[in-house]
Amino acid sequence: METAQERLDLDKAKNQNNKKSGQAQYVVFNIGEEEYGIEIEYTREIIKSAQITNVPNTEEHVVGVINLRGIIVPVVDLHSRFEIDQDSGDFEEDEQRTITVEVNEMLLGIQVDHIEGIVWLEEDSITPAPDVESNLRQDYLRGVCARDEDHLLILLDLEKTLFT
């Protein structure tokens, strides 16, 4: 029932989304220790991680496919993409979720270690990602947002993250 509840919240949040100007909603989650956010428009639902079938001969970040009510959905794991250790972060295994997103008209699942929630962010509070030298991750970022002191939320550019 938890999945249904979370899906409902997503829908409700989306309905409210265009009510405030200069603000947008983000789904916030953890991969390893760090906190990431994606725009709520991309998201479809949040599900408990299902049985994944491995697909050979695919890129490293593709972990396989799941059966989502009869639809085959590819699932990606961003640990390898972001060069994050699989075991880093302080989360239990049953906190793991898959966020299904629709990007470029494709339905994909993103495996995350923990769902933090949905937040409103002022567009003004989002700053370009700081230039960290020779960090591949730079391309994948839309910007960062300081939520409170020494708490940085990393906003992802999903299209670049998934398709480059």
Interface residue list for other proteins (CB under 8 A): 51, 53-58, 62, 64-67, 70-74, 104-108, 162
For other proteins, give the closer residue by CB, 21 or 104.
Answer: 104
Q: Which residues contact 7 (CB under 8 A, 6 or more apart)?
A: 45, 46
CA–CA distance, 118 with 143 (Å, rounded to integer): 17
Instruction: Report in angstroms how near the CB of residue 71 gets to other proteins at its nearest.
Output: 8
β-bridge partners, 151: 148
Contacts 24+ apart (CB under 8 A), 84-87: 84/31, 84/32, 84/34, 85/32
Least Å distance, CB 139 to other proteins, is 19
Structure tokens of 144?
Answer: 């960062």
Q: Considering the complex, what minimum distance in angstroms separates the CB of residue 92 from other proteins?
A: 25
Nearer to other proteins, 75 or 112 (CB): 75
Nearer to other proteins, 103 or 152 (CB): 103
What is the phi/psi pair of residue 85, to 5°? Answer: -65, 140
Residue with smaller CB distance to other proteins, 62 or 144: 62
Least distance to other proteins, CB of residue 54, Å: 6
